[in-house]
Amino acid sequence: MIRGEELYSGKAKSVFASDREDAYILKFRNDTSAFDGEKVEQLDRKGMVNNKFNAFIMKHLESQGIATHFLELLSDTEALVRKLDMFPVECVVRNVASGSICRRLGLDDGVDLSPPTFEFFLKNDALHDPMINEYHIRSFGWADDEAIEVMKTQTFLVNDVLQTLFADAGMILVDFKLEFGRQGDNVFLGDEFTPDGCRIWDATSREKLDKDRFRKGLGGVVEAYEQVAQRLGLDL
């Protein structure tokens, strides 16, 4: 596979053309950002760990019937993915209250949310990813009714699958963010699933094993991601 021109560079990943008309090369970089790009650092090995972590999770989701953009691992830091037109929205499911919902609704960190709750955010750093609802998505044409339904049902299905995967390895999937896109008539899960975009706690100690370690300056960020991978049985 020949890596073509760089088409887009995000905060932690870059998108390149591939020699397939219907696919891109996604490169996971060591850049780690928080607070809408205000805090950025290079963390050694993170690109490699996240690329392999994402491949493992996407393959597991495919095996459970969830359509994802993932096609194949190309190198330590690169994967081949379906070319998608991304919806500019972020789908968040929360099993336990942490982060922005605690600030917005005055909740204590760590309160169980039963049933899990769902939130849409607009993907826009300049506006600090404001929370939006389905009416906004329809009025502004960010996605149609059918895509909104697919995003909600697939995000809850991902939650069912991954809550079990993490629980079986002694961890709690607190919350996570997904992004979807369209190729032709079909909607696929895109972007990534890595500890950069979710909260994972040790089930006993509730130690943070995700990007909150970076946001809060706790250190041991990539070491925690590696620990999660290892506990899921992933060979990095």
Strands 39-42 and 31-34: antiparallel
Indicate the residue whose CB is closest to ligand ASP: 33
Q: Indicate whether 199 belongs to the interface with ligand TMP (CB under 6 A).
A: yes
Q: Indicate whether 130 belongs to the interface with ligand ASP (CB under 6 A).
A: no
235: left (phi over 0), alpha (psi -120 to 50) or beta: beta
CA neighbours closer than 13 Å in the CB half-sphere of residue 106: 0
Binding segment toward ligand TMP, per CB under 6 A, in 63-71, 107-115, 132-140, 191-199: 191-199
Q: Indicate whether 198 belongs to the interface with ligand TMP (CB under 6 A).
A: yes
List for the chain the helix, strand, coil content (%; round to 5). 30, 35, 35
Binding segment toward ligand TMP, per CB under 6 A, in 12-20, 59-67, 92-100, 143-151: 92-100
HEC string for 196-213 = CCEEEEECCCCCECCCHH
Rg of the chain taking only CA atoms, in angstroms: 17
Binding segment toward ligand ASP, per CB under 6 A, in 31-39, 143-151, 180-188, 216-224: 31-39
Q: Indicate whether 11 belongs to the interface with ligand ASP (CB under 6 A).
A: yes
Size of the site for ligand ASP (CB under 6 A): 8
Closest Cα to residue 84, out of 149, 151, 129, 133? 151
Q: How far apart are CA 234 and CA 213, in angstroms?
A: 21
Q: How far apart are CB 175 and ligand TMP at their closest, in Å?
A: 4
Instruction: Tell me the three state secondary structure of residue 194.
Output: coil
| Closer residue to ligand TMP, CB minimum distance, 88 or 99 | 99
Q: Which residues in 111-130 contact ligand TMP (CB under 6 A)?
A: 121, 129
50 alpha-carbon distance from chain centroid: 10
Q: Which residues in 154-183 contact ligand ASP (CB under 6 A)?
A: none
Closest Cα to residue 195, out of 170, 215, 217? 215
| Closer residue to ligand TMP, CB minimum distance, 17 or 107 | 107
Q: Which residues in 129-188 contact ligand TMP (CB under 6 A)?
A: 129, 175-177
Interaction mask 36-55, ligand ASP, x per CB under 6 A: xx------------------
Binding site for ligand ASP (CB under 6 A): 11, 33-37, 211, 215
Interface with ligand TMP (CB under 6 A) = 90, 92, 99-100, 121, 129, 175-177, 197-199
